[in-house]
């Protein structure tokens, strides 16, 4: 079993929380078995398309959806099964969590076929629990357990975004640095990207409750309902993060504008003080005859003292006018 041939996991659930690993041969030998079977495939595996087309009994639309390049979360019932497309946050090394990974499932009778392209930690954990004997015991337990793994990790990412936004808000209040703008833009972009898939996922989970399949018993429906509420809270939290990021960006822009205005004000005062001084020094510096004091030794000191007096008078005037 490998990504190359397409079969990542194959399990025959024993009803006690464990599962027997299966390979391609084992799967073909259990076609009429009443036990719950889980087949997890790599979308680009060499045998994936052939096995799905020849042995899975999928409708053409469901087969296309399982192998599509781009999908959005949804739940669609067919005459002989249920197509369920979900998304999970990308926690692979070096990846962005908002680059969500697609997980496609076909559930028919006692079989669950899942297809992915990139790894999902929730799926790996589910396989590990089956190997350890602490996994789902039935098909009605399998789907809520998988949903719980996906949504649990989504909550950690949303919580991390909220904490980062709190830190940014505090930094803007205390520092108001221009380099915070890029971090705010990044958090806002992450919220928008996550919501793009989390909101449809809420609708897909809700569809399971509106038209529950036969294998989704009452306890399983209660678990799915609780998971739907959590997804709804995450959608609302993402909306709040996006709006808060916009408000903080406006606050940052206002603080930066205020800092710029203060600097421009200081420069204007300096220019106002030196404007008459520059006029006087320019007037005395013209290279024509008749400049008073040109032949007097104390003339420079007198002019410099006069300029200092003019500057003092201007500063006193600005203070009286409350400009300083």
- What is the reported pLDDT for 108? 87
Q: Hey, what are 281's tokens?
A: 């020094």
- What is the reported pLDDT for 300? 75
Q: What is the mean pLDDT of residues 268-287?
A: 77
pLDDT: which is higher, 290 or 167? 167
> Residue 183 pLDDT more than 80?
yes
pLDDT: which is higher, 92 or 210? 210
pLDDT: which is higher, 322 or 219? 219
| Tens digit of each residue's pLDDT (9 = 90 or more) over 185-197 | 888 888 988 898 8
Among the residue ranges 180-184, 199-203, 273-277, the one predicted with the least confidence is: 273-277
Q: Decide: 207 and 231 in contact? Cβ < 8 Å.
A: no
- What is the reported pLDDT for 270? 79
- What is the reported pLDDT for 230? 92
CA 90 vs CA 32, 96, 159: distances in Å:
36, 6, 15
Distance between CA atoms of residues 28 and 174, nearest Å: 65
Average pLDDT, the chain: 84
| Tens digit of each residue's pLDDT (9 = 90 or more) over 7-23 | 898 898 888 988 888 88
> Residue 246 pLDDT more than 80?
yes
| Tens digit of each residue's pLDDT (9 = 90 or more) over 144-158 | 999 999 998 888 889
Closest CA to 73 of 221, 260, 207, 168: 207
| Residue in the structure block whose two tokens are 């889980």 | 38
| Tens digit of each residue's pLDDT (9 = 90 or more) over 107-124 | 988 889 999 988 888 999
Q: What is the mean pLDDT of residues 262-283?
A: 79
Output Rg (C-alpha) for the chain, integer angstroms: 35
Q: Decide: 9 and 127 in contact? Cβ < 8 Å.
A: yes
> Residue 175 pLDDT more than 90?
no
């Amino acid at each position: 079993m490998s990504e190359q041939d397409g079969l990542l996991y194959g399990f025959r659930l024993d009803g006690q929380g464990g599962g027997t690993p299966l390979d391609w041969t084992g799967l073909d030998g259990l076609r009429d078995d009443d036990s719950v079977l889980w087949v997890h495939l790599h979308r680009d595996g060499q045998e994936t398309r052939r096995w799905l087309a020849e042995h899975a009994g999928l409708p053409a639309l469901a087969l296309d959806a399982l192998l599509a390049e781009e999908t959005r979360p949804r739940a669609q019932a067919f005459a002989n099964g249920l197509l369920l497309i979900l998304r999970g946050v990308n926690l692979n090394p070096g990846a962005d969590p908002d680059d969500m990974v697609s997980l496609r499932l076909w559930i028919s009778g006692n079989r669950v076929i899942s297809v992915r392209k990139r790894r999902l930690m929730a799926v790996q954990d589910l396989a590990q629990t089956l190997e350890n004997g602490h996994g789902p015991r039935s098909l009605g337990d399998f789907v809520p357990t998988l949903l719980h793994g996906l949504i649990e990790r989504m909550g950690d990412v949303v919580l991390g975004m909220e904490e980062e936004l709190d830190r940014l808000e505090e930094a803007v209040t205390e520092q108001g640095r221009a380099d915070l703008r890029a971090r705010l833009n990044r958090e806002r972009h992450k919220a928008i990207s996550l919501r793009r898939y989390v909101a449809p996922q809420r609708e897909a989970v809700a569809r399971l409750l509106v038209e529950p399949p036969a294998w989704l018993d009452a306890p399983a429906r209660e678990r799915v309902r609780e998971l739907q509420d959590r997804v709804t809270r995450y959608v609302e939290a993402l909306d709040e993060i996006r709006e808060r990021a916009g408000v903080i960006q406006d606050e940052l822009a206002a603080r930066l504008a205020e800092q710029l205005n203060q600097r421009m004000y200081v420069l204007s005062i300096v220019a106002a003080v030196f404007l008459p001084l520059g006029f006087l020094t320019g007037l005395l510096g013209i290279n024509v005859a008749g400049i008073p004091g040109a032949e007097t030794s104390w003339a420079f000191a007198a002019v410099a003292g006069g300029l200092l007096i003019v500057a003092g008078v201007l500063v006193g005037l600005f203070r009286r006018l409350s400009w300083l």
